[in-house]
């Protein structure tokens, strides 16, 4: 995989009337900086996913606590049931409804947070892939431009050699 250091450290051989070294170096630095920025953003998104997963774990721990609280409420209701069975049924029913409501809210929030985080991560990954492709395309265009220039320059040199050879032949005649 191409890294920012690979791009920043890339050197080209010097050629007569070749590309402007400063422009090539400047462009490579920009490409390197951009790739490094994309990598940092990707790492940031991975951190966001980890944070979201931690929140989900916290919600799951809260759910377990609610389940424990519900168990305690049921035990207490059993004791109260000996004294007043009707009142205990109302308390248990209310506690179960509240626990279900809280669990539903927590699950909905966790699901929504996961969905948003996944959408953001997918979007940013796609953007990063596109930016990487754009960088590769730009690099390929630069290589093609170099090859076109090289072929044209070689053609001009061959033409000049032919002219010199013809002049040399004419002088000897």
Confidence label for 1 from pLDDT (cuts 50, 70 and 90): low
Please state the rounded mean pLDDT for residues 3-20: 77
In angstroms, the CA 40 to CA 130 distance is 16
Instruction: State residue 8's pLDDT score.
Output: 77
Which domain range does residue 9 map to?
Answer: 4-172
Q: What phi, psi does 31 have (nearest 5°)?
A: -60, -45
What's the distance, CA 18 to chain centroid? 36
Q: Read off the pLDDT of residues 40-58 as tens digits, 9 standing for 90 and up.
A: 999 999 999 999 999 999 9
Instruction: State residue 161's pLDDT score.
Output: 94
Please state the rounded mean pLDDT for residues 70-97: 87
Q: Read off the pLDDT of residues 14-31 as tens digits, 9 standing for 90 and up.
A: 777 778 888 888 888 888
Q: Read off the pLDDT of residues 96-139 as tens digits, 9 standing for 90 and up.
A: 999 999 999 999 999 999 999 999 999 999 999 999 999 999 99
In angstroms, the CA 96 to CA 104 distance is 12
Instruction: State residue 141's pLDDT score.
Output: 94
Crossing angle of the two packed helices 85-172 and 21-83, in degrees rounded to 10 = 170
Q: What percent of the chain has pLDDT over 90?
A: 62
In angstroms, the CA 86 to CA 84 distance is 6
In angstroms, the CA 92 to CA 70 distance is 8
């Amino acid at each position: 995989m191409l890294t920012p250091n690979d791009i920043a450290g890339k050197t080209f051989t010097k050629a007569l009337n070749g590309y402007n070294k400063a422009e090539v170096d400047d462009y490579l630095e920009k490409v390197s900086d951009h790739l490094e920025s994309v990598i940092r953003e990707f790492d940031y998104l991975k951190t966001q996913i980890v944070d979201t997963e931690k929140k989900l774990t916290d919600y799951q721990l809260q759910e377990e606590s609610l389940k424990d609280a519900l168990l305690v409420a049921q035990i207490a209701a059993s004791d109260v049931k000996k004294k007043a069975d009707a009142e205990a049924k109302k308390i248990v029913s209310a506690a179960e409804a509240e626990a279900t409501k809280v669990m539903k809210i927590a699950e909905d929030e966790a699901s929504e947070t996961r969905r948003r985080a996944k959408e953001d991560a997918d979007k940013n990954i796609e953007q990063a892939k596109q930016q990487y492709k754009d960088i590769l395309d730009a690099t390929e265009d630069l290589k093609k431009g170099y090859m076109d220039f090289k072929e044209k320059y070689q053609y001009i040199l061959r033409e000049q050699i032919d002219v010199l050879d013809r002049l040399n032949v004419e002088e000897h005649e």
